[in-house]
Amino acid sequence: MLTVAEAVARCPLFDGLPRRYQELIAGCARFVRFDADVAIFLEGQPADRFFVLREGRVTLEVFSPERGRIVVQTLGPGDALGWSWLFPPYRWHLDAMARERVAAVAFDGACLRGKCHEDHLLGHLLMERFGDLMLQRLQATRLQLLDVYAHGSR
């Protein structure tokens, strides 16, 4: 049976990190499961953790009184979910809904922030990875905004 430490080592987000750091991170991690159509977190709630998905899909949504739930992105296995735990005021900016049964590794934000304060290299390495993740998501969002399929015969 897969241990939490093994699952952390397999997370793409932590790929290539020194083993001792993967083990430190695993100390703040545990397995979690969510049923389909369950809210993993909601906008405005305390962002006290983040997740790396192992199975199932999760949608990031914004609720609009006029339009209901607006899905802005879908995440799947291997994807990291949540970065609001990194920055004050530590509150979620979006809703995350399990679209199907989801298995994930959940990481305690306060625990990990504490370890980053104690070991700045770990903090630097984690910030690099989350920075890269944010850059990828930002670029993807820009591409969505470009509406590339609107014009041309393709």
The footprint of another protein (CB under 8 A) covers 12, 57, 59, 68, 70-74, 76-79, 99, 139-140, 143-144, 146-154
Q: Which is nearer to another protein, 3 or 139 (CB)?
A: 139
Q: Which is nearer to another protein, 62 or 110 (CB)?
A: 62
Structure tokens at 137: 């998501």
- In angstroms, give the least distance from the CB of 148 to another protein: 5
Q: Which is nearer to another protein, 72 or 127 (CB)?
A: 72
Helix, strand or coil, per DSSP, at residue 100: coil
In terms of C-beta distances under 8 Å and separation of at least 24 residues, what long-range contacts does 69-75 make, across chains too? 69/95, 69/97, 73/137, 73/140, 74/99
Give which of 86, 100, 67 is closest to 129, Cα–Cα. Answer: 86
Q: Which is nearer to another protein, 94 or 122 (CB)?
A: 94
Q: Which is nearer to another protein, 57 or 91 (CB)?
A: 57
Structure tokens at 129: 């990875």
- In angstroms, give the least distance from the CB of 90 to another protein: 25
- In angstroms, give the least distance from the CB of 60 to another protein: 8
Which are the contacts of 60, defined by CB distance < 8 A and separation ≥ 6? 71, 72, 73, 74, 75, 81, 94, 95, 96
- In angstroms, give the least distance from the CB of 27 to another protein: 26
Distance, CA of 93 to CA of 72 (rounded, Å): 12
